[in-house]
Amino acid sequence: MRRFGRTVGRVVGTTFGTTARAVPGVMIGLITAGLAVGVGELVAVWSGPQTAPAIAVGSAAIDLTPTPLKEYAIRNFGTDDKPVLLTGIYLTLAAIAVAAGILAVRRPMVGVGLVAVFGAVGAWAALSRPTARGGDLWPSILGAVVAGAAMVLLVRSYQASQSPEESASRLPPWAQDRRGFLTLAAGAAGTAAVSGLVGRTVVDKRYNVALKRSRVRIPAPATRAAAIPPAVHPNVAGLSSFITPNSDFYRVDTALVLPQVDPDAWTLRIRGLVDRPLELSFAELLNRPLVEHDQTLSCVSNEVGGPYVGTARWIGASLADLLREAGVQRGADQLVGRSIDGMTIGTPVESVLDGRTGLLAVAMNGEPLPIAHGFPCRMLVPGFFGYVSATKWLVDLELTTFADYDSYWVRRGYSKIAPVKTASRIDVPKPFAKVPAGSVTVAGVAWATHRGIDAVEVRADGGPWQLARLAAADTPDTWRQWTHQLNLASGLHKLEVRATDATGAVQPEQRVDTVPNGATGWHSVVITAA
């Protein structure tokens, strides 16, 4: 055993050298990785932000991630899941770069080989995207080429500084000593930083459509929504606002960089099993009779009592009218919406044509759609979770069948059709709150989109259910707020809520996970009365 340990020690020592040798290796590895990323960002100025190496790899990683892990990320990181993923990618790259640099000090071609692998993975990831073009591989390829050349140059300079007689002939005199090596390293690091910063800055400016969005003027809707009754929102501190501000509206999607869609160049195709394929520009869409409608939107990843639900006042063109103009052919039962980033969402055709207010939405709460919520156009069909009804950055509608095509999330284990489940949530008091004993105000929201809410019940400590007071209703497509007074003695209490929708169905007690078609169960909070 002692001899085996000495053998392992010699192998490790030969490969990684002493600390003095490892430090230059770490430096070389990190600098060359920085060059690969920085040059890639710079080249992405021409090929688009989604082709930058880290973004391309991250997007491919999202597609390859198993569904349970995706749900874990959404549950634990929420809307910060994408920064967390990118941080993980950069840390992984840094670890690989350190290993490549240390190996390159003694075996340059091994280090360069790892850089080449990084470039190949980035190129593959870029080309794996549904909307990929041939030129999308260049940021990763050119980044890897520059990084590999820099690694060879830095390694030779370092080796010359240690043994001038071995490498002097391959380098200019000034690069053959320690100062020369440090000068080369500093120059390469500066190049990496400048190229990355310039690339990201130019990309953000060149592809950002915020200015064009600010110039969009949404015409007055031909069909206005009724005024929201003042009594929809009880005056209870801490209760969610009835209309969710755009800045607070949840965002759950797979886009690592927000698609920047130029409204002047945007077109929507309607094709597939239709009699008359259509194509609309944004100006033509705005010229159609617009409809204003209030709708609560919720995500299938929303756990019991979760935050991924919100209500907004939307303006858009009637989706049903457009499908009728196109002429839906017999047998077409699925409407597939495609985003500009390749996301696909499948909606039952019958639900679009059954009289509900399905929209090609262009405005949200009185302003053009925010970029994060699908500018310039998104689809909305009440009654379903977003993953089967609410395509953002919409550019294509295809009439097809559920038998012939599985959309993005269906291929990952979710149900093809997913009506919103009856749900309720306690907003007040917050979990683990301390409240005065006696009369305690309990308040929250309940929703069963497109069915409406008829009753909400609250109970404490497993006792009898008590009917809560419902606030005024807006439409069956929006949530309903409620309040109740409970008389609580001093001590620890568990409060629960359940809702009954307009069909008479009571929210089930059994806890079911979000996969494959949404969570169920009663929301509860534990509080202390004193």
| pLDDT computed for residue 164 by the predictor | 62
- Kindly report, residue by residue over 184-203, the tens digit of the pLDDT: 999 999 999 999 999 999 99
- Kindly report, residue by residue over 448-483, the tens digit of the pLDDT: 999 999 999 999 999 999 999 999 999 999 999 999
- Kindly report, residue by residue over 406-428, the tens digit of the pLDDT: 999 999 999 999 999 999 999 99
Rounded to an integer, what distance in angstroms lies between the CA atom of residue 307 and that of residue 30? 39
Rounded to an integer, what distance in angstroms lies between the CA atom of residue 454 and that of residue 34? 59
Q: Identify the band that residue 1 occupies on the pLDDT scale cut at 50, 70 and 90.
A: very low
DSSP conformation class of 293? E
| pLDDT computed for residue 15 by the predictor | 42
Q: Identify the band that residue 169 occupies on the pLDDT scale cut at 50, 70 and 90.
A: low
- Kindly report, residue by residue over 250-278, the tens digit of the pLDDT: 999 999 999 999 999 999 999 999 999 99
pLDDT at 404 > cutoff 50: yes
| pLDDT computed for residue 20 by the predictor | 61
What is the number of other CB atoms lying within 10 angstroms of the CB of residue 59? 23
Instruction: Pick the closest to residue 151 from 195, 192, 91, 95 (CA basis).
Output: 192
| pLDDT computed for residue 112 by the predictor | 95
pLDDT at 444 > cutoff 80: yes
Q: What DSSP line would sit under 14-43, residue for residue?
A: HHH--HHHHHHHHHHHHHHHHHHHHHHHHH
Q: What DSSP line would sit under 316-376, residue for residue?
A: EEEHHHHHHHH-BPTT--EEEEEETTS-EEEEEHHHHHSSS--EEEEEETTEEPPGGGTTT
- Kindly report, residue by residue over 326-375, the tens digit of the pLDDT: 999 999 999 999 999 999 999 999 999 999 999 999 999 999 999 999 99
pTM score: 0.90
